[in-house]
Amino acid sequence: MASEVLIQARGLTRRYGPTVAVENLDLTLRQGEILGLLGPNGAGKSTTMKMLTGNLAPSGGEIEIKGISLRENPKAAKRHLGYLPEQPPVYPELTVDEYLRFCAGLHGLPAGEIGAALDSAKRDCGLTEVGGRLIGNLSKGYQQRVGIAQAILHRPPVVILDEPTVGLDPIQIREIRTLIAELGKTYSVIVSSHILPEIQAVCGRVMIIARGRVVYHENLSALQDQAAQIIAEFRRTPDIAELGAVLGVAAVEGMGENRYRFTPTTEVDPRESIVEASVRNGWGLIELHAQNRSLEEIFVELTSADLRSAA
């Protein structure tokens, strides 16, 4: 049985004057998922997250959190969300405990539950030892943990983290990634990043956005499948429709000078059929090899293809 839908956004659009920051974006988050929102700087990730968390009114579209309309009933809908904005909202002059206690009040936790909520959020985020320390004296990685702790204090089913590793050193990045993966066992998470390996490390599903539009939306293994490609070169120009119809070919595109790039289906290796089709049609196959593109290359291709089509 499919798990419960926690966030359902349809046709989300946000304009800033003439700039369309997010355009007609649909997004679904189900129970137990870690969804990655991946895109280059300025793609619209923060704008999307601000809308999803009720911190920015959309110019168009609808958002439901656990079936509650964020527009019609924002207070009830937001109760199910924890949010870490791109700039962590921590107060350097407070201790970790003072700050989390203050946040517990903002989340409306009953006084009798605050102590236990603090203990559990600190435990989940590896902060138990630093409760009495001033936030301003903590490393950036620990400050980020504090930001995450305030997002989970009230144990919301959904946690939304905007670029949680920006500005951290490689060790801190690794620690925060591990923490997000751990959180994914308890919470459903949306995490944004402009760094592909980040999303690869923690997410099951990825949504790639560029210039405010979704350019790819699938699970990561499907993106991995796209990475396997076959390159062929012919003496004579083949019929592209016939190439596309070859057994095992999901897609084909010309690379110029009678070179073609094939994306195979996941079931069948099309190389033998390409050879047969070439012999049958007299295309003169002179080169055929498999090539594995990195996910990084696919990401750049997807996001820059969108830039090209916009231009």
Ligand X SMILES: Nc1ncnc2c1ncn2[C@@H]1O[C@H](COP(=O)(O)OP(=O)(O)OP(=O)(O)O)[C@@H](O)[C@H]1O
**What residues line the site for ligand X (CB under 6 A)?**
16, 19, 21, 39, 41-47, 86, 163, 194
Distance between CA atoms of residues 43 and 25, nearest Å? 12
Which CB sits closer to ligand X, 43 or 173? 43
Which CB sits closer to ligand X, 103 or 173? 173
Distance between CA atoms of residues 251 and 226, nearest Å? 10
Contact 23, 210 (CB under 8 A): no
> Smallest gap, in angstroms, from Cβ of residue 17 to ligand X?
7
> Smallest gap, in angstroms, from Cβ of residue 252 to ligand X?
32
> Smallest gap, in angstroms, from Cβ of residue 200 to ligand X?
18
Contact 148, 179 (CB under 8 A): yes
For the chain, give the longest Cα–Cα distance: 81
> Smallest gap, in angstroms, from Cβ of residue 57 to ligand X?
12
> Smallest gap, in angstroms, from Cβ of residue 153 to ligand X?
25
Strand partners, 134: 95
- Strand ranges for the chain from DSSP E: 5-16, 19-30, 34-38, 60-65, 68-69, 81-84, 158-162, 188-193, 205-210, 213-219, 228-234, 249-256, 259-264, 285-292
134, amino acid identity: L
Which CB sits closer to ligand X, 87 or 266? 87
Which CB sits closer to ligand X, 46 or 165? 46
Which CB sits closer to ligand X, 55 or 137? 55
Which CB sits closer to ligand X, 136 or 167? 167
Find the distance separating the first CA and the last CA of the chain, reported in whole Å: 43
- Strand ranges for 66-176 from DSSP E: 68-69, 81-84, 158-162
> Smallest gap, in angstroms, from Cβ of residue 82 to ligand X?
19
If residue 141 lies in a helix (H) or strand (E), which one and from where to where? helix 140-152
Q: For tokens 């620690």, what's the residue?
A: 175
> Distance from CA of residue 197 to its chain's centroid?
11
Which CB sits closer to ligand X, 44 or 141? 44
> Smallest gap, in angstroms, from Cβ of residue 263 to ligand X?
27
